[in-house]
Each structure stands twice: as C-alpha cells, then as structure tokens.
Amino acid sequence: MTRQEIAALLKNQRAFFASGTTRDLSYRGEQLKRLRSMIIDNEAAIYDSLAKDLGKPAFEVYGGEMGIVIREIDFALRNIGYWAKPKKVSTLMAHQPASSFIVPEPYGVVLIISPWNFPVQLTFSPLVGALAAGNSVLLKPSPMTVETSRLIKKMVERAFDPGLVCCVEGGAEIAHELVQEPFDYIFFTGSATTGRIVMTAAAKNLTPVTLELGGKNPCIVDADVDLDVAARRIAWGKFFNAGQSCVAVDYLMAHRKIKDALIERIVQHVKNFYGEDARASPDFGRIVSSAHVDRLAGLLGCGKIVIGGQIDREARYFAPTIIDGIAGNEPVMDDEIFGPILPVIAYDDLSQAITFVRDRPRPLALYFFSRDRALQDRVLRETASGGMCINDTVLQETSEHLPFGGVGASGMGRYHGKESFRTFSYQRSVVRKGFRADSALRFPPYKDKLKWLRKLF
C-alpha cells in the first residue's frame, strides 16, 4: 500500500467521523454488537488460523483471545450510556450564574497497531474501547501471524463500513508509513524498541499515544507457600501460549529453602500439563517463526537445564525449559524472553529479591507468592510494576474491571473496561452561562476590586 492509498483511507475515515454518525450512542452500540457477532460467527475460522500460526489450542484461543473480547464488548454495552453521559461538576462562585460539566469526546480517527502473540484479543479489545468512545479506526495487525491477519482483514471488511473501521496488512514499512500520518490517537502493542519508534513519529504530529509494551516480569516465591499450588500456577502462567505473552512469568526468584522443591514440582506440573514430550501435546503451542526459535536457542548457554531444551526449528517447536543456577547477569536475563524458558534465581532474604527487581526497568507484571500478608504488602509497597498478582499469575490482565498497562519501560496508558473508553476519549470541559446580568467585578476598570476578588478566590 502506497502513502497515497493510506492518505485516501484516512481521508475517507475523517469524512465519516465528521458526518457525526459515530456520536450517536445507539449507533455505537450497534457496531459493538456487530463486532460481537463477527467474532462468534467466525469462531471456527479463528481457531483454524491461530492453530496454523501459533499451534494454539482451541481452549487457549477462547480463554486468551475470543472470550476476553466478548466479555469486553458485553461490559461496554452495559455501561456505555453511563460512561458517555456528561458529568456535572461544581461551578466556582466567581463564575455564577452558570453550570459546569465534562463531556467525554471521541478523538477522531485512531490507529491501532497490534502484535502477533494474541492477535485477536490485542486487535479487537482496544477496538471495543475505540468504538464505544465514538471513533473511526484503522487497524494494523502483525504480519507475523499471516493466516490470522488475513482473516482479521476479511472479517472487518465484511462487517464494517470502511469509514468506521478498516484494516491494513503489511510489514514494518507499512507500519512506518502509517505512524507518519496525523492520526488523532495511536494505540500500539508490541516491543519497547518499536514503541520508541512509534512515539517518536507520533510526537512530530503531537499525536497522543498508548504504548502497551512488555518487560521481564519477575515471580518471587517466599519460603512459606503451598508449593504444589504455587508450582502449578507458575507453570501455567509461564507456558500458556508457549510463553509468548507480555505478562508471562519471565524469571523466577525462589527462596533458597524451597527452590529445589519448587522446581521439582514445576517440572512435574509441566509433565502433567503436556506429557513427557510436549511436542506430542495438542495443548502446547508453537513459536511464531524459525527466527524466534533461533533467538531463544541463543539463550540456552548458561545455567543448568532441569527440563526441556529440545528444539525442532522446522516445526517451530521449543520445549518447556527450566534453567537453574542463574546469577542474574547472564544473557537470558538481559531482555524479555517471550518464549518457554524459565530462568531460576535463588535468594536468601526478601530484601535481596526486592532490590534485584528494583534495580531493573519496571516490568509490566509482578508476581509474589507468600502466605504472609505483611510481606505481600511490603512487596506491593516497595516495588513498581504495571500490574501485580499475589499467589497466582496472569489473572490481572484478564479482567475488564481492572485497568491494564505498563509503567516506565513497560508502557504508558491503560485500557480494559471503562479505561478503554477513557483512553479513546478526551475530557471536554464546558461552562454554560445564560444572558443574565454580569457582575461588574471582573471587568475593567479594576480600581478597588482586588480585595473582593481575593474573597471570591
């Protein structure tokens, strides 16, 4: 697609938005229902495309993709009337007689750039907020998941007026062209490296952005836990979608007293989940590309492999892998792993673990397992992360009642539920007055008026 073709798409969307069609709440509701029907009607095709692209089992497709979007839609449909309603606020005495209120307004034409790891959820979940807020939207799915991106484009073209929602496929060159355009808002999900590029381009047009990035999400395990429950939840949170999740456990910090026993139980749960050979399991996904398999393979030259390490590059298979004996300065600890490798670090005192986490960029998620409420509160108080889950993993990302997003290097901005509506709206402040007589106080000449002004303010 050329720059001229992109400009033509945006021109059409700007004209559609300017028509005022999207301001009608009933119209917004109809489009959300249309999105819901589109996803449900294409359920089988979505399962098929994600199986081809990521080897994703149907359970993970529904639980991690479709189900989350459908819940977001239903939540928005129940609440959109309240969210969009002007909110009356107090009026200053100096402004009387008047009324003051805040009106949520759509930005206009917004760009949503989505990644490959959860392409359905991370394309359509922000779309819910954008439509609920009354915007026109251009979607740019990832070219890495070829089948699913093609399906998304096909579904969108059938379901929506292109003035309201359209979809553009393509690689980095198309994404580069898109972010140069003067969108009214950009919502990006992906790596921190690309996020910096998007933000730099957006700054040239003074376009506001939401950046949903990632990071090395720590999981700290205290000595006083139910080891079996903790191990099961950690194994699930790490190896769901073959570890290709921005909220996956990236590394494990276990108290030295229970480290070996915890690893032993995680290994057992991995076998319970996927059998002795995860390659044969219908429930364990595949890496998105052979290049990503190679990248992950380059992280194996440190520590002791407790389980896993098997690779089939052609099949894009990388076994669930646990590496013990990590000190914290190895290559596997440099960047977000984004794959089924779990490095394990031992600690002797919680202060040591907290310092380790605080010395690194702020993660998107942090997990802490402990029975001790005081220690839970301490970790919450002394660390920073986009979200946190205590005695479990990943759940904080899946609720429409909780805002989701990063902090610092893991991103900026929030969405899900009401926060999605707020992300794609700006708050317009309005003061309304009639033509009743004005107080002479505010108009020149100001002689002898300052003392009265002080009393009013």
Residue 371 main-chain phi, psi, to 5 deg? -80, -20
Helices (H) and strands (E) in the chain, counts: 16, 18
How many other β-carbons are positioned within 10 Å of the β-carbon of residue 442? 12
Among candidate residues 167, 246, 336, 397, the one labeled active-site is: 246
Instruction: Look up residue 59 and give its two tokens.
Output: 């359970």
CB 391 within 8 A of CB 370: yes
146 in Cβ contact with 18 (< 8 Å) = no
Q: Between 146-159 and 25-41, two packed helices, what is the crossing angle to 10 degrees? A: 140
- Report whether 302 contacts 211 (CB < 8 A): no
Is residue 212 part of the annotated active site? The answer reads: yes
Cis peptide before 141 (omega within 30 of 0): no
Distance, CA of 292 to CA of 363 (rounded, Å): 22
To the query of whether residue 302 is one of the catalytic residues in this protein, the response is no
Residue 94 in tokens: 């100096």
> What's the token pair of residue 81?
């009337």
Q: Which residue type, as a one-letter code, is found at position 343?
A: P
From 212, 336, 397, 400, active-site residue: 212
* DSSP run (H or E) holding 180: helix 172-180
For the chain, the C-alpha Rg in angstroms (whole number) is 25
What is d(CA 167, CA 205) in angstroms, rounded to the nearest whole number? 22
Q: What's the angle, vertex CA 318, arms to CA 245 and CA 366, rounded to 5?
A: 30
Q: What share of the chain is helix, strand, coil (3-state, %, to 5)?
A: 45, 20, 35
Q: Looking at the annotation, which residues are catalytic? A: 212, 246
